[in-house]
Structure 1
């Protein structure tokens, strides 16, 4: 090995050690995906004059109940055409409020493949070969995806309902290029990040926790609707929860809402974070 290759190798090892010192890079990436609401989607151009070149475009994104990023894009968009030709993509995210030198702040490149999300009511628009490349969900599942997405992009409902837009979800994470600041650099295997974002402990307590909230704490959820979402329902049921927040369905008025936590949580944090949401709601109500 040449002297220069040895030096590069040593530098990479040092950067990886710094990135992992007192840190969990995979956990940080999971939190960053919650912290930022848009990124740069990089796809491989299918344009006849630019075939094979990288194509970057800013896209809002949301996080599904299993922790994976998904986007809402138009059928006529260049990146849609690119993904249909080659689904290999990269979602680049960075610190939303960088201070000083932007290279001193965190950023990550998330490599994976996007697939179209399709519901039974829209299946007839595609042939069998195209449908085999889609993620199939129920109408209810798509509605929940829309609720999560609208929490970040309030105007998105009209796009899905009146324009030719579809959700596209990253079906897997191959690798993540992680940079937590100067010298803190490493590659993370996709399965490490997927394990962190799905969090089996939260999955294990989900059903019981939802039942408990619905049986004993409807008043707390009504308060959250009043304070954070600015409406007063007659009844509320929790229908989902994950590391990032809770989803509720209310009646009178009928509405679904997604309420994010301040930070991604572990199973042991759930009770405290629900209490924090109620406290936040009461504070907002007292000042309104």
Structure 2
């Protein structure tokens, strides 16, 4: 349930947030826009935005922003659900520093690859100043950046993990979707892996599959994936 998730688990499971910037055209007023994000290797949300967009122009004048993430599944009673506000400064990433995070972004949001190579789009990292997390009723508080660890110890190996799973274990990915999410996916794709879980696209729908224990290395991740697959097979045998 959303109320049981930690702030880090909640942010990892998210894909979109409301990006608030300082308006240039109406000074003193905030400007909000829906913006996709992925987490970079050190755990900062990374966004991919166009120079033509109002929020980009705002950021280039004043880099102070916030990104509010919420769970669409709580739409019936959003105030009872979890949400996190990531207060940060937006920093443009240099072309030399975007290789791995760009590929990660395109895996999570395949349509964005069409914008690659254009001069209009750039990656920005949101470097935290302070966080506000509401994990459910009575679970409210401020979090300092040093109190939350969103770094990915599997970052260097992630691309290889993704390629291997998608190339050799597509049946296992579909089994995960079927058992854990009740989805009969025609196409299931692994798009991300970190110490706490893996991210999938099931016929375009984003899914987050958490581990039962942290996987600090590739061998530990392999054991987690095997255990999850074993669970799907045992459930199928019992059906």
Q: Shared fold (TM-score greater than 0.5)?
A: yes
Change (3 A) 1:221 1:102: closer
2:222 aligned with 1:271, yes or no?
A: yes
Aligned partners of 2:112 and 2:82: how far apart in 1? 28
Aligned partners of 2:8 and 2:99: how far apart in 1? 23
| Correspondence list, 1:81-100, <5 A | 81-98=57-74, 100=76
Aligned partners of 2:165 and 2:17: how far apart in 1? 34
Change (3 A) 1:228 1:148: farther
Residue 151 (structure 1) aligns with: 107
Aligned partners of 2:41 and 2:76: how far apart in 1? 35
2:14 aligned with 1:40, yes or no?
A: no
SS in 2 for 1:51: coil
Change (3 A) 1:152 1:244: farther
| Correspondence list, 1:1-288, <5 A | 28-47=6-25, 50-98=26-74, 100-119=76-95, 137=97, 142-162=98-118, 164-170=120-126, 172-193=127-148, 196-198=149-151, 202=153, 222-224=167-169, 228=173, 242-243=194-195, 262-263=209-210, 266-267=214-215, 270-275=221-226
Change (3 A) 1:187 1:219: closer
SS in 2 for 1:115: strand
Q: State which structure, 1 or 2, has the greater radius of gyration over its C-alpha atoms.
A: 1
Aligned partners of 2:11 and 2:226: how far apart in 1? 24
Residue 9 (structure 1) aligns with: none
Give the unaligned 5+ runs of structure 1: 1-21, 120-135, 232-239, 248-258, 283-288
- Does the 8 Å contact 2:38/2:105 carry over to 1? yes
Aligned partners of 2:138 and 2:232: how far apart in 1? 41
Aligned partners of 2:91 and 2:232: how far apart in 1? 37
Determine which structure has the larger helix proportion and give its number.
1
Report deviation, 1:273. Answer: 2.5
Give the unaligned 5+ runs of structure 2: 175-185, 200-205, 234-239
Determine which structure has the larger strand proportion and give its number.
2
- Does the 8 Å contact 1:223/1:281 carry over to 2? no
Aligned partners of 1:223 and 1:278: how far apart in 2? 14
SS in 1 for 2:124: strand
Change (3 A) 1:60 1:88: same
